[in-house]
């Protein structure tokens, strides 16, 4: 009887210890599962960029550095990449300029139609991309414009502006207006105050909006597929290639873009950390 009681107590103690350990480390466990879910496809892409494959990259055939030494070896892959980069850069510059001005207008001024403007800004973010792509295509065709490079740029600017506005507006909402008032009390005019006080303080939000706009433009497939015509972009190239096996060069380019974005974020965090320590 005493042996059974001791075993029961030991079982309850072990269960309590396990329950306490799970409750203490639950967030860590969820984080590991979440990161594994996110990074396993990235790791697969990176690993298969070293695959010694031919036209198809579906099966592992050995390790090689050939694809990294010649990332343009697959037909049209660098042409598609160049188109995506050019479209992304143009759309980012235009969307960042327009989105920043709209964010300043919405955050700093009261005018008739302000609520309607806010609603209009959020519509592209809430509307499914299939609807946006089909609507833009119908608009271009009705206007007699053939889909191509510039229709992609216009479409990307349209949905990237919303994300820039939201990002910059959030930065403006956290800006202390007393800093601008102090600058003007020290005899700075409005242009000097904006250039030397407001713009440096809002610059991180503008940069974040620009990076977000570029990543969305470079990554977009659905709207691009509707409005691209014969112009091939990198996401379209990957989709078409997936029917017969994505070439390893596409994995090389995707891996390089991922690491460039990762190092950019880490560098920005490092610079921000040093500035906080300096202040």
The structural domains of the chain, with segments of one domain joined by +, span 2-48, 75-246
Q: Does domain 75-246 fall into CATH 3.40.50.12780? A: no
Mean pLDDT of the chain: 85
Mean pLDDT of 228-235: 91
Query: Would you state the pLDDT for residue 225?
Result: 93
| Cβ-proximal residues to 58 (8 Å cutoff; 6+ apart), any chain | 245
pTM: 0.82
DSSP secondary-structure letter at 162?
H
**Arithmetic mean of pLDDT, 1-18:** 60
Alpha-carbon separation of residue 139 from 100, 115, 144, 227, 235 (angstroms) = 26, 26, 9, 10, 23
pLDDT at residue 245, rounded to an integer: 74
**For residue range 61-107, what is the model confidence (pLDDT) as tens digits?**
888 888 888 888 888 889 999 999 999 999 999 999 999 999 999 88
pLDDT tens for residues 22-63? 778 888 888 889 888 888 888 888 888 888 876 677 778 888
Percent of the chain at pLDDT above 70?
Answer: 93
Q: What is the structure's pLDDT at 149? A: 94
Three-point CA angle 191, 196, 200, nearest 5°: 120
Helix (H) or strand (E) holding 269, with range, is helix 248-278
Report the alpha-carbon distance of residue 156 to residue 214 in Å, rounded: 9
What pLDDT is recorded for position 5?
56
């Amino acid at each position: 009887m005493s042996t059974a009681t001791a075993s029961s107590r030991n079982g309850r103690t072990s269960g309590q210890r396990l329950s306490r350990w799970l409750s203490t480390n639950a967030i860590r466990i969820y984080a590991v599962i979440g990161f594994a879910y996110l990074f396993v496809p990235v790791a697969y892409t990176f690993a298969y960029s070293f695959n010694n494959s031919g036209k198809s990259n579906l099966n592992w055939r050995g390790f090689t550095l050939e694809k990294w030494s010649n990332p343009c070896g697959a037909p049209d892959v660098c042409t598609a990449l160049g188109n995506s980069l050019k479209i992304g850069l143009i759309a980012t510059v235009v969307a960042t300029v327009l989105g920043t001005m709209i964010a300043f207008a919405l955050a700093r001024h009261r005018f008739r139609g302000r609520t309607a403007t806010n609603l209009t800004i959020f519509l592209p973010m809430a509307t499914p991309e299939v609807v946006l792509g089909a609507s833009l295509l119908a608009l271009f065709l009705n206007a007699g414009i053939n889909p191509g490079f510039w229709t992609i740029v216009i479409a990307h600017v349209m949905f990237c502006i919303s994300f820039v506005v939201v990002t910059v507006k959030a930065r403006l909402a956290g800006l202390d207006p007393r800093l601008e008032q102090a600058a003007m009390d020290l005899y700075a005019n409005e242009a000097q105050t904006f250039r030397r006080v407001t713009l440096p303080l809002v610059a991180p939000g503008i940069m974040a909006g620009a990076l977000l706009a570029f990543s969305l433009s470079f990554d977009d497939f659905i709207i691009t597929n509707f409005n691209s015509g014969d112009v091939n972009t990198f996401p379209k190239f990957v989709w078409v290639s997936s029917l017969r096996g994505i070439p390893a060069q596409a994995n090389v380019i995707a891996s390089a873009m991922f690491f460039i974005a990762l190092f950019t974020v880490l560098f920005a965090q490092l610079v921000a950390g040093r500035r906080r320590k300096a202040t």
